[in-house]
Structure 1
Amino acid sequence: LEYASSIWDPGHSTLVTNVEAVQNRGVRFIYSNYHRTASVSSMKTSLSLPLLSLRRKISRLRLFYKIYYFNASLKDKLFLNPAYISSRIDHRFKVGIPHCETSAYNDSFIPRTSSEWNHLQASLAAIPSLDLFKETLTNHFC
């Protein structure tokens, strides 16, 4: 479920539910508890398992961070310059969000993650180390 999840992350709620169901079955397997009245949520909590959608979001933001800071040629090809940066509500690391004609494209990696990147706190987007970014991002969302 983790392999390339930053790219194939589904945007439609039905698909997200289907992917989460796989994790739920895995949790039931770990505990060997297949009773239909057993709470999968409490089992996931006791294992400290975050939602897969949250793990995919963190994975997408980490990949975005890597491209933004460590791959200038790919950054220039994939990321647009922002039309406007507000000194009051935006951070200086803001990127432009491409215009999307379809919801499928809107839910794809670049538009979706660009928007999430722009909504990060400036202090989070400015972290100079990938490991520290991952740790801070995980603490921020979990």
Structure 2
Amino acid sequence: MKAAPTLDGRLRIDVESEADALVLMSVIADARQQPEALAEDVGGLMPEEAREDWDEFVLPELRDRFSDQLDRVANAVRTLGEGDSLFIAGDEAEAWFGALNQARLALEARYHFTRDQDADAGAEVRSARIRSHFYQVVQGLILDCLMLK
């Protein structure tokens, strides 16, 4: 897979194999592992007396926003195959950044990655760690190429 900014201000991701397409589709599956917990975790450091308002007013909107981000990314990757290119425009940057972040947070919550576990980790954990790193790299490209212009 190759990713680079385009001259017209978008980010282009070239899908060079079916494995590349599967990795992009994995963003959705990874992010949806724990959607409720991720939305609730955002308010985790809030004082207890403020939690009731948070739960009533902010949390439903946050869940809807997370869900909308995932839906937008799912629509973009649903039909990708070998040889296809995906273009992310500036108005899609926030949805992509959020979906990738949700996927990374869900993977971290599930596997509790550490540097020491790589040598002893099974294939599932190694695969999850590689996906998480890939998501982080794409987030960096989105941030650099689309969000910090």
TM-score by length of 2: 0.29
Point out which structure has higher relative CO (alpha carbons under 8 A, 6+ apart): 2
Which has more radius of gyration? 1
**Comparing both structures, which one devotes a greater share of its residues to strand?**
2
TM-score by length of 1: 0.30
